[in-house]
């Protein structure tokens, strides 16, 4: 390894020529040229990086009472991202955001990342430069350091594989399995924004002129630059009153079903309490869509959702307010199974990807 190292001979992208001023393809840059170019985009490591880029493996040091949290995600062009809905800089940002959010959902801090790329040989080098600028932006914001990776060529689509290592106080990680009857369901920030932003990019170009610049910026940011809720996760962990946590990657409905199943409780959500951003409501009205659908099933919001001990509610809410972070109580846990949505006096079973009407 090393950053982008350990290319096996068959994977080496040869030819060290550089054509100044002209858009360069990867194969024109060469393996080591590419490594140097990408490594230069990354910031200086902190003291937790004992051995970083350039040896067989990276060595990182954590405090004795800390556990290491690790998570990984793979993104394929054409499946998980498309060039017409995300720019390369935001793609770099979001590629790490997805994994940092998993660390946040454990209550941890994201400390180190490794980043592997399978690169089509005709990819413009400038796309990688932009990608790494985005990677470095989120690393700077979250105190995360890229300590290695691999770069290989592929005959297929661009593939990004990210692994993030974080730390959490020993024995304190927030799990999906601790919700108890009587607990309250919390949700950080707002949801539905990523789906609304994607809808705007895919379908809403004709409506874009009707939105304010701020509204457009909000929607694009929700989709392209989700903010992992590490500070919120830290407050929840430190409160000692958080009984379960998930990040909203697959959608509120999906995450709640997971917590319900893993904890063995029924979760009851009040539709009217789901926090939806004003810009999302405004766009939904223009599109003639119900924003609740985006909020429940859209996913990729990367907020935290879970349950907390009602005795700790006031303290947690105060700590969120003090940190300038939003937290909303959207329901509660009961004895039983599954997830129930309360809306306009009706009770519907909320499935991961839709509704199931009781008695029907």
User: Residues forming the annotated binding site for ATP?
Assistant: 132, 149-150, 176, 249
Stretch that binds a second copy, among 51-59, 222-230, 263-271, 318-326 (CB under 8 A): 51-59
- Map the footprint of a second copy across residues 5-34, applying CB under 8 A: 6-11
- Cβ proximity to a second copy, 189 vs 282, nearer residue: 189
112 conformational bin, left if phi > 0, alpha if psi -120 to 50, beta if neither: beta
Q: Is the alpha carbon torsion for 105, 110, 112, 115 positive or negative?
A: positive
68 sits in which H/E element: strand 66-76
From 102-110, 180-188, 316-324, 338-346, give the range in contact with a second copy by CB under 8 A.
Answer: 102-110
Task: Report the site for a second copy in 325-354 (rule: CB under 8 A).
Answer: none
Q: Write the interaction track for a second copy spanning residues 133-162; mark x where CB under 8 A is met and - where it is not.
A: --------------xxxx-xxxxxx-x-x-
Rounded Cα distance, 171 and 67, in Å: 8
* 39 part of the interface to a second copy, by CB under 8 A: no
- Give CA–CA dist 306/304, Å, rounded: 7
Calpha distance 306→245 (Å, rounded) = 4
Q: Which stretch binds a second copy (CB under 8 A): 39-47, 54-62, 133-141, 215-223?
A: 54-62
| CB of 31 closer than 8 Å to CB of 152 | no
Instruction: Give the number of other CB atoms < 10 A from CB of residue 4.
Output: 24
Q: What are phi and psi of 180, to 5 degrees?
A: -125, 155
Instruction: Choose, by CB under 8 A, the member of 67, 238, 239, 343 that binds a second copy.
Output: 67
Instruction: Please pick, from the candidates 95, 99, 263, 307, the single residue that binds a second copy as defined by CB under 8 A.
Output: 99
Q: Give the residue with the Cβ less far from a second copy, 114 or 242.
A: 114
What letter would DSSP give residue 95? Answer: H
Q: What residues between 246 and 265 interact with a second copy by CB under 8 A?
A: 246-247, 249-251, 262
Binding-site member from 35, 86, 91, 98 for a second copy (CB under 8 A): 98
**267: contact with a second copy by CB under 8 A:** no
Q: Which is nearer to a second copy, 184 or 259 (CB)?
A: 259
* CA distances from residue 224 to 46, 94, 132, 141, 303 in whole angstroms, order as listed: 28, 7, 15, 16, 14
Minimum distance from residue 313 beta carbon to a second copy (Å):
23
**Which H/E stretch holds residue 150?**
strand 145-154
Dihedral sign, CA of 342, 343, 345, 348?
A: negative
Tell which residue, 17, 231, 261, has the closest CA to residue 141: 231
**Window 175 to 194, contacts with a second copy (CB under 8 A):** 175-177
Helix (H) or strand (E) holding 109: strand 109-120
Name the residue nearer to a second copy (CB basis): 282 or 301. Answer: 301
Residue 341 forms beta bridges with which residues? 269, 348
Q: Which of 34, 42, 69, 274 binds a second copy (CB under 8 A)?
A: 69
275-314 positions binding a second copy, by CB under 8 A = 299-300
Single out the residue of 16, 46, 78, 214 in contact with a second copy (rule: CB under 8 A): 78
Quick one: which of 36, 46, 55, 124 contacts a second copy (CB under 8 A)? 55
Radius of gyration of the chain (CA): 22
Q: Toward a second copy, which CB reaches closer, 189 or 211?
A: 189
Residues flagged as binding site for Mg(2+): 56, 71-73, 102, 150, 247, 250
**228 sits near a second copy (criterion: CB under 8 A):** no
**Closest alpha carbon to 303 in 206, 195, 213:** 195
Nearer to a second copy by Cβ, of 188 and 215: the residue is 188
CB of 7 to a second copy, least distance (A): 8
Q: Does 324 bind a second copy (CB under 8 A)?
A: no
Residue 1 structure tokens:
């390894």
- Tell me the two tokens of residue 77: 């062009």
β-sheet bridge partners, residue 130: none
Pick 118 or 280: Cβ nearer a second copy: 118
């Amino acid at each position: 390894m090393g950053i982008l190292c350990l290319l096996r001979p068959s994977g080496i992208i040869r030819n060290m020529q550089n054509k100044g001023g002209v858009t360069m393809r990867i194969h024109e840059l060469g393996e080591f040229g590419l490594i140097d170019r990408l490594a230069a985009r990354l910031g200086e490591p902190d003291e937790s990086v004992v051995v970083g880029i350039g040896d067989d493996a990276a060595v990182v040091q954590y405090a004795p009472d800390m556990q290491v949290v690790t998570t990984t995600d793979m993104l394929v062009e054409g499946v998980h991202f498309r060039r017409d809905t995300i720019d390369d800089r935001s793609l770099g940002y979001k590629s790490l955001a997805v994994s940092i959010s998993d660390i946040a959902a454990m209550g941890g801090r994201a400390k180190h990342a490794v980043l592997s790329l399978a690169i089509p040989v005709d990819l413009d080098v400038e796309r990688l430069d932009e990608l790494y600028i985005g990677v470095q932006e989120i690393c700077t914001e979250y105190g995360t350091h890229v300590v290695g990776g691999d770069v290989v060529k592929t005959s297929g689509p661009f593939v990004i594989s990210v692994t993030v290592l974080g730390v959490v106080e020993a024995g304190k990680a927030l799990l999906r399995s601790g919700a108890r009857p009587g607990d309250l369901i919390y949700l950080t920030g707002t949801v539905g924004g990523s789906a609304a932003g994607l809808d705007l990019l895919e379908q809403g170009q004709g409506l874009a002129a009707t939105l304010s610049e701020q509204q457009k910026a909000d929607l694009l940011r929700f989709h392209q630059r989700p903010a992992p809720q590490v500070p919120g996760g830290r407050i929840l962990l430190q409160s000692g009153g958080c009984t379960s946590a998930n990040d909203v990657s697959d959608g509120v409905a999906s995450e709640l079903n997971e917590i319900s199943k893993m904890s063995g409780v029924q979760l009851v959500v009040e539709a009217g309490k789901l926090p939806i951003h004003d810009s999302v409501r405004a766009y939904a009205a223009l599109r003639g869509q119900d924003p609740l659908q985006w909020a429940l099933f859209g996913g990729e919001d990367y907020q935290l959702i879970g349950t907390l001990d009602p005795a700790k509610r006031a303290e947690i809410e105060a700590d969120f307010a003090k940190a300038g972070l939003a937290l909303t109580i959207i329901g509660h846990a009961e004895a039983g199974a599954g997830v129930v949505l309360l809306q306009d006096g009706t009770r519907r079973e909320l499935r991961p990807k839709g509704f199931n009407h009781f008695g029907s």
